[in-house]
Amino acid sequence: METVGKSSKSGVGKSSGIKRMNKKEASEWFQNLSLAEQLLLKQKANSSSSSEERKTKTKTKTEMHERERELILKRQSEHEARMKAQLQSKAEITQQIQKCQEMHRRLIPLQMRLNQMKLHESHNTYHRYTQSSHFYFKLGNLEAKVSNELRLIQNEERALFDMHHRHHCIKNSIKDIVAKITALPNPHTRRIQAKKCVDNIYNLMTV
């Protein structure tokens, strides 16, 4: 064991020689050191380990802060997008309501004219004009026009109903995100759940 003997004389200053020893030789070498040298070597090893640990923790914290900052910025942009979509949805609903109201206003005089012609037809069965082909031609055209306008109004009102449903779904989804994220104890789980909810909202808005 000449290697151990020589190494023991060299003391702590040559502690790097441990790297070239096997586990048994290193253990024997350490045992041959004085108590002071052993303590000094342990302190040096602990100091080196603590330094590396601090560096690792600092790096990890920095990376976590950076990810959190990116996540916050992403959530802010997503929140702005949701609010913008909600405002846009409200504007579209308002326009659709106005469109339906205007179509109803246009329909009223047509319905009144149609009712007058039908009333005239029923009260003047033997009148020459009500028996003419021209009268029935006008009556048929008016009935077709009223029927077409009613069909168009029904389509627009159906579209309005869909808009209302979509708007409430977006609004409720935003409320659900806040409730679900607040209820979850784990931050990582909260982030995953929030992303899922946001994706659902985006899918809903783009349908």
Selection from 50, 51, 44 nearest residue 15 by Cα: 44
- Burial (CB count <10 Å: 0-12, 13-18, 19+), residue 29: buried
Rounded Cα distance, 152 and 146, in Å: 10
- The sign of the CA dihedral 29, 30, 36, 37 is positive
Specify the pLDDT at position 125.
61
User: So what's the pLDDT on residue 12?
Assistant: 46
| DSSP type of residue 68 | H
How many residues appear in the chain? 207
Per-block mean pLDDT, blocks of 10 residues, the chain (207 long): 43 48 68 74 71 72 76 72 78 90 93 88 64 82 94 93 83 67 61 61 51
At residue 176, the pLDDT reads 66
At 169 the pLDDT is: 76
pLDDT at 65: 75
For residue 109, the model assigns a pLDDT of 93
Q: Can you read off the two tokens belonging to residue 197?
A: 């909810």
| DSSP structure class, residue 33 | S
The dihedral formed by the CA atoms of 56, 59, 60 and 62, expressed in degrees to the nearest 10: 160
Q: Is the pTM of this model over 0.75?
A: no
Give the residue carrying structure tokens 């009935």.
143
